[in-house]
Amino acid sequence: MTLEQGKYSKYLPFAFSEHGILQLRTMVLSNTEIKLEVEKIRKKVDSQDRNIEIIFRYFDELLEKQAEPRIKIGYEISKGKYK
């Protein structure tokens, strides 16, 4: 069986077509844009992680302060006087 002339080729072409070059360019550009967006998101998450750690440290400090006994303020009514 022989190939019809021009219908199929045994070898791949050595050059890109214009359309192929445009597709390759957009793919490369979109990959770099995606990488930049991922980096932005990572930086944002890292800064938020640091802020969350600070908030939890403050919570721990507040909980430790509440464990200490408080000084009572105000009037004290004796139980036997006003029954």
CA distance 78 to 29: 81
Q: 75 is written with which tokens?
A: 């009037």
Q: Where do we find the tokens 């360019």?
A: 25
Q: 37 is written with which tokens?
A: 């967006």
pLDDT band at 80 (very low <50, low <70, confident <90, very high): low
| Predicted structure pTM score | 0.40
* Span 67-81, average pLDDT: 75
- Helix and strand totals (H; E) in the chain: 1, 0
